[in-house]
Structure 1
Amino acid sequence: MNGDERVDAWQGADGEREFAERVRALLTDDALTLQPSMAPYPAIRRRGVAERRRRVAAAGAALVTLAVAPVGAYALGGADRGGEGASPAVSATASRSPVPTASATPSGPSGPATDGQLLDGVTRESAVSMLEDCLGSDLGRGPHQGLGVAGEYRILLAMRSTGDSNSPGNGHFVVAARDDAARTRVICTVKDGEVAGVNSGGVAEGPPDQGPVVPDINALKLYAQSAMDRGNWKLPFRWGSIGLVDPSVARVTVSYGDGETRPAVLDHGWYIATGELDQQVTRAPRIKGYDAAGELVYDSDRDKYYMAELP
């Protein structure tokens, strides 16, 4: 190869090299031009979140429409059938949980079954007030834990109390019971606006052979004066007799002192009888219970647990 040929060959090689470099540069430029830029993730995410919220809102609106429309449509359609469509609308509303109202919460104790259980000028309001005072007093809270509040009770009896040598001063008795498992019963004594005594007890359990009528063992304070005043009772004397009664018992009678038989009131599993003595007696009230057929099923004179003679 002569000199001119070597020059041409070198130039040819350089030309190819230059051409190759230009091609690579062009390809690189094209690659950069064709490569997509990074996706704008924050913007896409914001759009996605907004879209999901829009779909959820739309779905919620659709569910509300599905829940309401059939009831309304059925009710309206039923109008042509004499208003029969109103019933499904009512039942749909009734299936919801009731909304508590002020009237749903008892504001105080339940009243007695009859007006005759509130005696000697005691009204239901004054009986409630005395019961609240008793349960809230030191006597009610101290040795008598767990008595609860007045709103849990049912007032059974309210009457005047006669003072004696053991407990001077006249006042009032309020008897109330709670319809819980222990069937708590309280006898409150109020004198001159002050709580003078609180007697309480759970009366659910008794002897296994107890009868269908169970006189309250602490009712003695309601129908007798102190043993220290034997032969010298203060008269006239208001008395009361209370106790539990089985559902099988349809009627209870009580006689005391003068021999007159009085029908007792039956009030939610309790019997209540009252009267007035004008002379002192030595025997406790006699109590009898009868079933629906009129058969005698209980007689306190045959009850070995009943103290028929006064102390």
Structure 2
Amino acid sequence: MNGEQQGRDEDFEQRLRDLLAEDASGLRPAPAPYQRIRRQGVRERRQRAAAAGAALVVLTALPVGAYALGGGGPRTADTAASPPKATAPASPAPSASASPSGPAGPADPARQLLDGITLAQASDGLARCLAYDRAHDYRRMGPGPSEDLGDAAGYRIILAQRSTGDSNAPGDGMYVVAVKEQPRQTRLICSVKDGEAAGLNASRGGVGADGAGPVAVDINSGKLYQQSFLDKGHWKLPFRWGIIGTVRPSVARVTVSYGGDTSEAVLDHGWFVANGTLNRQITRTPHLKGYDAAGKLVYDSDRDPTYEKTLP
């Protein structure tokens, strides 16, 4: 009996060991799914990079949108306080009799130099704005190196006009609008007061709202044709106004009606420029129409859902 019992005990112990071994094998972790984990990690890194890129686009777009409110200091949102004066070195402001010189751009640029402003004065003001912007590096809105706007010699000036101070940006001066196409399309609106840089707005790679038609009004050119909303109903008159934007090659003519008067816009290598003088307070933004070479109406701002038709 003892031998039989011992045999049964040994059989039982062997089965128990076998069961424990099977349980241990079942509890052993399976090999890590390396390829699946790697794919998930790559996907998450791409998602984080896309989110960071979207945030950077929003940040870099802010200075452009801010100017539409009536910009004060260089590439910043408006405040009621006077903007700081530029301290960057620049050549002395030329007199009205100075010989015209400055950015050449394409042959025969159809620039509009108004109110007795010479090309030399406009070029000097543009250089001061670029020097101020470079010294204070307002482009650095996110990670990575900032993109320099370049030198004044790389731009062509398409408009220079006097500016009227208001409650949001006191002090009269002048606006200078300059553009270049390379290395990519860039538009600058430079504000100069007392011979010094007082504000600079830059736009790259398109100036109109998404979905705009053959004529695209610069969404930041409002400062050129309106005074601060703080002075609504109490504008300083007479008021020199201007408006700029881009046109497609199919557009041969653009008219602008503002304050009851209609003027013909000047077309300059894909840009349009119009201006005039207001002698009364108005509430509607400029009304634009574009025509092709056959005289057919191809654009009407009244039918453009992206164009704001009333002043703030």
| Identical-residue share of aligned pairs (%) | 58
For 1:22-41, what aligned pairs fall within 5 Å after superposition?
none
Alpha carbons of structure 1 residues 289 and 135: separation in structure 2 relative to 1, 3 Å: same
**How much does 1:180 deviate?**
2.1
1:253 — aligned with what?
255
Structure 2 equivalent of residue 159 of structure 1: 161
1:227: which partner in 2?
229
Q: Which residue of 2 aligns with 1:242?
A: 244
Alignment partner of 1:306: what SS?
Answer: coil
CA distance in 2, matches of 1:181, 1:213: 23
- 1:63-74 to structure 2, matched below 5 A, reads none
Higher mean C-alpha displacement, 300-309 vs 208-217: 208-217
Please give the alpha-carbon distance, in whole angstroms, between the structure 1 residues aligned to 2:119 and 2:219: 26
Distance change (3 Å), C-alpha of 1:183 and 1:229 = same
Paired residues of 2:210 and 2:306 also in contact (CA < 8 A): no
Does the CA-based 8 Å contact 1:181-1:204 persist in structure 2?
A: no
Which residue matches 2:195?
193
Q: TM-score, normalised by structure 2?
A: 0.62
The separation in 2 between residues aligned to 1:310 and 1:181, in whole angstroms, is 34
Query: More helix by proportion, 1 or 2?
Result: 1
Q: After TM superposition, give the deviation of residue 209 of structure 1 in Å.
A: 3.2
1:211-236: CA deviation from partner (whole Å, max 9, x where unpaired): 11100000000000000000000000
Q: Distance in 1 between matches of 2:183 and 2:283?
A: 35
Unaligned runs of 5+ residues in structure 2 are 1-100, 140-146
Give 2:282's aligned residue. 281
**TM-superposed deviation, 1:201:** 0.8
1:297 & 1:122 partners in 2: Cα distance?
A: 34
> 1:205 and 1:119, CA in 2 relative to 1: closer, same or farther beyond 3 A?
closer
Residue aligning to 2:178: 176
Q: Which has the larger radius of gyration?
A: 1
Q: Is the 1:236–1:279 Cα contact (8 Å) retained in structure 2?
A: yes
CA distance in 1, matches of 2:214, 2:228: 29
Q: What residue in structure 2 maps to residue 34 of structure 1?
A: none
**What secondary structure is seen at the aligned counterpart in 1 of 2:128?**
helix
Q: In structure 1, what is the Cα distance between the partners aligned to 2:200 and 2:149? A: 11
CA contact (8 A) 1:212 1:298 kept: yes
Letter in 1 for 2:153: G
How many Å separate the matches in 1 of 2:193 and 2:158? Answer: 19
Alpha-carbon offset, residue 203 of structure 1: 3.7
- Give the paired residue count: 203
1:165: Cα distance to partner? 0.2
Equivalent AA in structure 2 for residue 113 of structure 1: P
Match of 1:308 in 2: 309
TM-superposed CA distance for 1:109, in Å, is: 1.0
Q: Do the aligned partners of residues 286 and 270 (structure 1) sit closer, same or farther apart at CA in structure 2, a change above 3 Å counting?
A: same
The structure showing larger relative contact order (alpha-carbon pairs under 8 Å, at least 6 residues apart) is: 2
**Counterpart of 1:128 in 2: which secondary structure?**
helix
C-alpha distance in 1, partners of 2:134/2:311? 27
Name structure 1 gaps, 5 residues minimum: 1-106
Change (3 A) 1:276 1:140: farther
* Paired AA for residue 273 in structure 2: I
Map of 2:121 onto structure 1: 126
Task: Report the aligned-residue RMSD.
Answer: 1.9
